[in-house]
Amino acid sequence: AEHAAATAARRGAARSGASVRDQVERLVAVLNAQAIPTAGSVIDAFNREASLRALERLRADLRALVLPRGVKALEAEAERAVAAARAELGGQLFGESGAPKLYATYDSGAAEEAKHLQNANFRASHSACA
């Protein structure tokens, strides 16, 4: 009977209120069980990916530096790389709603990468002198 009602409904036959209610309830249950993206969540995900790409670019740029370097030269190169990756991030963000948080996350990650670079430079300098 249910199959016959569904077939009739697909053919444009009149449906009872109970049939429509049942179908809507099933549809709502299916939709609620899924993580349906909203426009905002898609934009947020896109922007998070942009932030991750900017940090990856920064890591690659910093790893490409030949070490050891003098402290001032290292700081200048690191600042240049951080600024370039941050500018790239700014050019890729969609919308402004989450930008401050994304920039803060990027800045925090960039500071960590700068610390790693300083440590790597110290180790390279120590190895060169040993």
Per-residue pLDDT of the chain (130 residues; tens, 9 = 90+): 555 555 555 555 667 888 888 888 887 787 777 777 788 888 999 999 999 999 999 999 999 999 999 999 999 999 999 999 999 999 999 988 789 999 999 999 999 999 999 999 999 999 998 7
Query: Rounded to two decimals, what is the model's pTM?
Result: 0.70
Spacing of C-alpha 126 from chain mean position: 37
SS (H, E, C) 36-54: CCCHHHHHHHHHHHHHHHH
pLDDT at position 37, please? 77
Instruction: Supply the pLDDT for residue 29.
Output: 81
Dist CA 61 CA 80 (whole Å)? 10
Cβ(109)–Cβ(55) below 8 Å? yes
What pLDDT does 13 receive?
62
